[in-house]
């Protein structure tokens, strides 16, 4: 009987799939790291081994997880709050600036001795590689290095730069750039601008920036492949070889655009309701807030401490007039606070939003914060500053449970007006609850879906059956240029034939007249 039991247990162990997964999140922004950590945690809980490449290492890591520290050494220079305030209007970030920034980040990550140690370890093998996509694609070579499938992780709503890696480019009439401050439908000149922008961006990405990426790909990964006695693949080929895109998006938040079957929307997978816990002090504040709590946070990249002193004081004056408690994330202590204002250097944003007394969220409009507002059904005020925040705030405002406020020196007055509008108009809360219900009404929980699709890609050896045929069709065929050429050739031949027939009849007519 004991022998049979041992045989059964041994058989179970043999049939239990435990995969080794490499997750690469090099972006030196904590919001991206939140997604990377969530993906790692979910895969670890599913019984897999995870190697996590991150610029935000933790002192202690779970069992079956290896952490590779690639802390970014360099000036980020993307989040200058004082610089934004000096401008009359905050403009969306340029594609060139963010692309070269991320190129530098990834180059430094590959050169990091910790990652070099991993890449040059001959004993390492992986069943899948998950890479955070953000404008640079150098890491596509890792899937070829380990002979395993590649999965992109996208932190934004679907856009043309990520979609073209697994399918064809979307029409700019229906889907504008990811850093756009306008939303569809576009007017005539807006459509024209988007078309011209996409064309110019393609030239930048596929000519100037591609040459930079390709050179770095060969320089940095070439020696690694050589040491493993493997040929270095073509960068242009492997960057279109991804099995899936796992996107932190959902149709209720972004646009209902048509997507290929290997583009999986798992927006909100980083939210774990079981972890929604508050410290005793915060719990007491939240529980005793008779008129509710307003949460104010500009995220992890923008620092409220960088605001000019007079602007901070003006905001505090606005908050002091409210009956509600205001919890404000500020990275340094502020003297002489109003009794209803609490300042914290760090705060558990998800846990505060989850509390029933949280009635308003003032945010920078990052997709993670927007998603958390959807998840918990909290109305919001968006103060967009860079990247996709403009589009995020405009979309949620259009859906009726948010107000947009510009980051200017008029912020206190504009914010006061927006707060009063939302607090005294129940429509905002009603819409927030409605869209939260839509967001939650799914057939599969996004946390389970992430694990399922990673395992599915490995189990099916890359899920190649999901690959879009558009990737294998040349541009001239997509645009029917060959058909156009054939039609033009036929028309030219017919024109030539008709001209010669007419000419022949005219000559014969002239000859006939002379003979008469």
What pLDDT digit, counting tens, does each position of 234-281 carry? 998 899 999 999 999 999 998 888 899 999 999 999 998 887 788 888
- CA 93 to CA 80: how far, in whole Å? 12
Residue 502 tokens read as 């007419």
- Place 10 in a pLDDT band, splitting at 50, 70 and 90: very low
Whether pLDDT at 448 is above 80: yes
Residue 92: partners with Cβ closer than 8 Å, 6 or more residues away: 177, 179, 180, 181, 386, 387, 390
> Which has the minimum average pLDDT: 59-73, 137-151, 283-297, 370-384?
59-73
Whether pLDDT at 339 is above 80: yes
pLDDT (average), residues 297-306 = 79
Question: What proportion of the chain, given as a percentage, has pLDDT over 90?
Answer: 56
Q: How high is the pLDDT of residue 503? A: 81
For 139, half-sphere exposure in the C-beta direction (CA atoms, 13 angstrom radius) is: 34
What pLDDT digit, counting tens, does each position of 12-52 carry? 444 457 999 999 999 988 888 999 999 999 999 999 999 99
Whether pLDDT at 8 is above 70: no
pLDDT (average), residues 322-351 = 90
Residues 391 and 181 sit within 8 Å (Cβ to Cβ)? yes
Q: How high is the pLDDT of residue 78? A: 61
Q: How high is the pLDDT of residue 206? A: 87
Q: How high is the pLDDT of residue 301? A: 73
**Bridge partners of 153?**
132, 246
Whether pLDDT at 434 is above 90: yes
What pLDDT digit, counting tens, does each position of 70-100 carry? 998 766 666 666 666 655 555 566 788 888 9
pLDDT (average), residues 461-486 = 88
- Place 11 in a pLDDT band, splitting at 50, 70 and 90: very low
Residues 384 and 364 sit within 8 Å (Cβ to Cβ)? yes
Q: Which residue has the tokens 């069992």?
A: 63
- Place 515 in a pLDDT band, splitting at 50, 70 and 90: low
> Which has the minimum average pLDDT: 10-14, 127-131, 368-372?
10-14
Give the predicted TM-score (pTM) of the model. Answer: 0.87
Most confident of the following: 35-44, 61-70, 499-508: 35-44
Q: How high is the pLDDT of residue 214? A: 93
Sequence-distant contacts of 143-147: CB under 8 A, at least 24 apart: 143/238, 143/241, 143/242, 144/225, 144/230, 144/233, 144/238, 144/241, 145/119, 145/221, 145/224, 145/225, 145/228, 145/230, 146/22
> Which has the minimum average pLDDT: 96-100, 327-331, 363-367, 500-504?
500-504
- CA 328 to CA 332: how far, in whole Å? 11
What pLDDT digit, counting tens, does each position of 194-213 carry? 888 888 888 898 899 999 99
Whether pLDDT at 53 is above 90: yes
Residues 249 and 391 sit within 8 Å (Cβ to Cβ)? no
Residues 163 and 249 sit within 8 Å (Cβ to Cβ)? no
Whether pLDDT at 9 is above 50: no
Characterize 237-262 residue by residue with b for buried, 16 or more Cβ atoms within 10 angstroms of its Cβ, and e for exposed.
ebbbbbbbbbbbbbbbbbbebebbeb
Whether pLDDT at 6 is above 80: no
pLDDT (average), residues 319-327 = 93
- CA 45 to CA 54: how far, in whole Å? 19
Q: How high is the pLDDT of residue 129? A: 96
pLDDT (average), residues 442-469 = 93
Report which of residues 342 and 182 the model is more confident about: 342
R_g of the chain, CA atoms, integer Å: 28
Q: How high is the pLDDT of residue 325? A: 94
Residue 36 tokens read as 């990377």
Q: What length does the chain have?
A: 516
- CA 458 to CA 243: how far, in whole Å? 10
Among 246, 271, 58, 225, CA closest to 156:
246
Stated as kind and residue range, the H or E segment containing 296 is strand 293-297
Q: How high is the pLDDT of residue 1? A: 45
Helix (H, G, I), strand (E, B) or coil at 403: strand
Report which of residues 302 and 189 the model is more confident about: 189
- CA 507 to CA 307: how far, in whole Å? 88
pLDDT (average), residues 290-312 = 85
């Amino acid at each position: 009987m004991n022998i049979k039991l041992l045989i059964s247990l041994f058989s179970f162990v043999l049939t239990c799939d435990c995969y080794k997964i490499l997750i690469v999140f090099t972006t030196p922004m904590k919001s991206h790291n939140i997604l990377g950590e969530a993906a790692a945690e979910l895969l670890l809980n599913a019984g897999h081994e995870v190697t996590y490449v991150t610029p935000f290492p933790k002192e202690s890591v779970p069992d079956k997880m290896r952490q590779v520290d690639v802390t970014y050494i360099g000036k980020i220079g993307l989040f200058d709050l004082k610089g934004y305030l000096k401008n009359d209007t905050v403009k969306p970030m340029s594609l060139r600036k963010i692309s070269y920034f991320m190129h530098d980040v990834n180059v430094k990550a590959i050169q990091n001795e910790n990652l070099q140690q991993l890449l040059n370890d001959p004993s390492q093998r992986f069943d899948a590689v998950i890479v955070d996509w953000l404008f640079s694609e150098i890491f596509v070579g890792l899937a070829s290095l380990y002979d395993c499938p590649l999965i992109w992780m996208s932190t934004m709503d679907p856009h043309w730069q990520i979609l073209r890696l697994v399918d064809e480019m979307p029409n700019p009439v229906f889907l504008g750039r990811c850093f756009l401050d306008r939303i569809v439908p576009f007017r005539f000149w807006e459509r024209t601008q988007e078309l011209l922008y996409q064309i110019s961006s393609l030239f930048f990405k596929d000519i100037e920036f591609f040459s930079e990426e390709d050179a770095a790909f060969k320089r940095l990964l070439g020696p690694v492949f050589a040491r493993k006695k493997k040929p270095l693949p073509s960068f242009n080929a492997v960057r279109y070889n991804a099995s899936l895109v796992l996107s932190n998006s959902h149709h209720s938040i972004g646009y209902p655009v048509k997507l290929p079957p290997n583009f999986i929307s798992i927006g909100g997978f980083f939210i774990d309701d079981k972890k929604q816990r508050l410290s005793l002090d915060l719990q007491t504040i939240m529980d005793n807030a008779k008129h509710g709590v307003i949460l104010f946070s500009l995220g992890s990249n923008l620092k409220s401490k960088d605001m000019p002193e007079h602007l901070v004081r003006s905001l505090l004056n606005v908050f002091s007039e409210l009956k509600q408690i205001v919890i404000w994330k500020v990275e340094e202590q502020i003297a002489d606070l109003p009794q209803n204002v609490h300042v914290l250097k760090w705060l558990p944003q998800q846990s505060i939003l989850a509390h029933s007394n949280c009635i308003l969220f003032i945010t920078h409009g990052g997709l993670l914060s927007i998603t958390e507002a959807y998840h918990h059904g909290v109305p919001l005020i968006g103060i967009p500053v860079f990247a996709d925040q403009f589009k995020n705030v405009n979309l949620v405002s259009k859906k009726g449970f948010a107000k947009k406020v510009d980051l200017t020196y008029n912020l206190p007055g504009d914010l006061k007006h927006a707060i009063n509008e939302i607090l005294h108009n129940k429509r905002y809360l009603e819409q927030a609850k409605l869209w939260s219900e839509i967001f939650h009404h799914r057939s599969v929980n996004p946390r389970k879906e992430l694990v399922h699709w990673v395992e599915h890609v490995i189990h099916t050896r890359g899920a190649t059956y999901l690959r879009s045929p558009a990737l294998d069709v040349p541009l001239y065929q997509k645009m029917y240029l060959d058909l156009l050429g054939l039609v033009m050739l036929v028309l030219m031949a017919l024109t030539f034939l008709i001209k010669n027939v007419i000419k022949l009849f005219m000559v014969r007519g002239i000859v006939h007249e002379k003979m008469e």
